[in-house]
Amino acid sequence: MSKQPDMQTETEDEGDVSPEEYVALSDFTGAGSDQLTFSCGDRLLVHAKPSSEWWWAEVREVIGYAPASYLRERATDEEEEGEDDACPDDPWQDEEYFGSYGTLRLHLEMLSDKSRTEAYRQVILSNSASLRNKVVMDLGCGTGIISLFCAQLAEPSLVYAVEASSMADYTRQLVKQNGCEEVVTVLQARAEEVELPEQVDVLVSEWMGNCLLFEFMVESVLQARDCWLREGGVMWPSSAALTLVPCQAHSYYEEKMAFWERPYGLDFTPLQPLAQQEFFTKPKFSHLIEPADCLATPSDVILLDMYTLQVKDLEEIKGQFHFCVDKPGSFHGFTAWFTVHFDSLETGGATVELNTGPHAE
């Protein structure tokens, strides 16, 4: 494995710290030579946690990187009794998923995304008059930021802030701290299990993940819509699109390749083919692309209408695209981003857009 020496040194420096034993929640196939491949139920020894997403682990005497989200800490023998055959089909539907949202790390990341948070704030502000006396569901409310926006910027009769994770306990405190407890009711429940005393006029949720659908929370949003959104109610976001464009990324590519030329005055060029393989097999998140790096006109490959989209439609999503590369350049891969639109509550009112692409401000 290409980075094994670095991780071994790190674990040696930690002294007598023993590796932690984890269990795989789902099958995983490594995309590169330094990523592990394992099956649901396999036991892995985690030697180091260099990042929150990827851990340095060992399975069947092979060492490499494993995605942290696919692992859970091994239970005691008593807790595991009778559970050897129990393995969830999808790790994102497991308790580990909701457990991760019970910590501040993910919420800090989301709240620090100013363009997203401000888009929701602007939607509520521009519809403040129409939200008066309306009933709102904020699904997957997290810290309750959207519910608090509704309570402070508009005059809804009630906001149901629904959160499945343990963060709900803190959300109640935040609601009270900001004087919104008469408007906002926090409910700790999954979307599929929540019970409301009434249907809602507006269902708002910040469900979009990387490449729009990562984490697949959209399924829960659709189920909540079918159960609790009244006829003629409004979905926020109202529509969504995933966009692709072939691009070049010279500075990032050169950064990854140049390091292996002569680090510390030594010739490491034999590692450059491996570095190139890793570059083309691992996605780079939060990549900032300049419009000049686009090699063709961007194309929407997935379009979702949040009013008509059905859960069964999510079983197989197909997107078609055709690119005509009309400028010279080096093709390093595709850049993906999403755009969502929020319908106005007023007929003919302005639509608010959240665009995470290269032309977004």
Per-residue pLDDT tens digits for 199-217: 999 999 999 988 898 767 8
Cα 101–223–133 angle (5° rounding)? 85
Q: CB-based burial of residue 16 (10 Å sphere; 0-12 exposed, 13-18 middle, 19+ buried)?
A: exposed
Contact 80, 74 (CB under 8 A): yes
CA 42, chain centre distance (Å): 25
DSSP-derived secondary structure for 185-198: EEEE--TTT---SS
State residue 319's pLDDT score.
85
Per-residue pLDDT tens digits for 317-357: 888 889 999 889 999 899 999 999 999 998 888 899 998 87
For the entire predicted model, the pTM comes to 0.68
Q: Active-site residue among 163, 206, 219, 278?
A: 206
> For residues 31 and 280, what is the distance between their CA atoms, to the nearest angstrom?
10
Nearest to 290 by CA among 358, 339, 360, 242: 358
State residue 173's pLDDT score.
96
Q: Residues 6 or more apart from 43 whose CB is under 8 A from it?
A: 21, 22, 23, 24, 59, 74
* Token pair recorded at residue 342: 């929020």
Contact 22, 74 (CB under 8 A): yes
State residue 341's pLDDT score.
97
Nearest to 102 by CA among 190, 161, 166, 191: 166
Q: Active-site residue among 20, 58, 155, 215?
A: 215
> For residues 136 and 310, what is the distance between their CA atoms, to the nearest angstrom?
21
Mean pLDDT per 10-residue section of the chain, whose length is 361 residues: 40 60 85 86 90 89 89 63 45 46 64 86 95 97 95 96 92 96 95 93 93 85 96 96 93 86 90 86 81 92 96 88 90 92 90 78 38
Matching residue, tokens 């595709």:
334
The half-sphere exposure of 354 on its side-chain side, counting CA atoms within 13 A, is 23
* Token pair recorded at residue 170: 């803190």
Q: Is 215 a catalytic residue?
A: yes
State residue 107's pLDDT score.
62
DSSP-derived secondary structure for 136-153: EEEET-TTTHHHHHHHHH
302, β-bridge pairs = 242
Percentage of the chain with pLDDT > 70? 85
Q: Residues 6 or more apart from 59 whose CB is under 8 A from it?
A: 36, 38, 42, 43, 44, 45, 66
> For residues 111 and 332, what is the distance between their CA atoms, to the nearest angstrom?
31
State residue 253's pLDDT score.
85
State residue 24's pLDDT score.
87
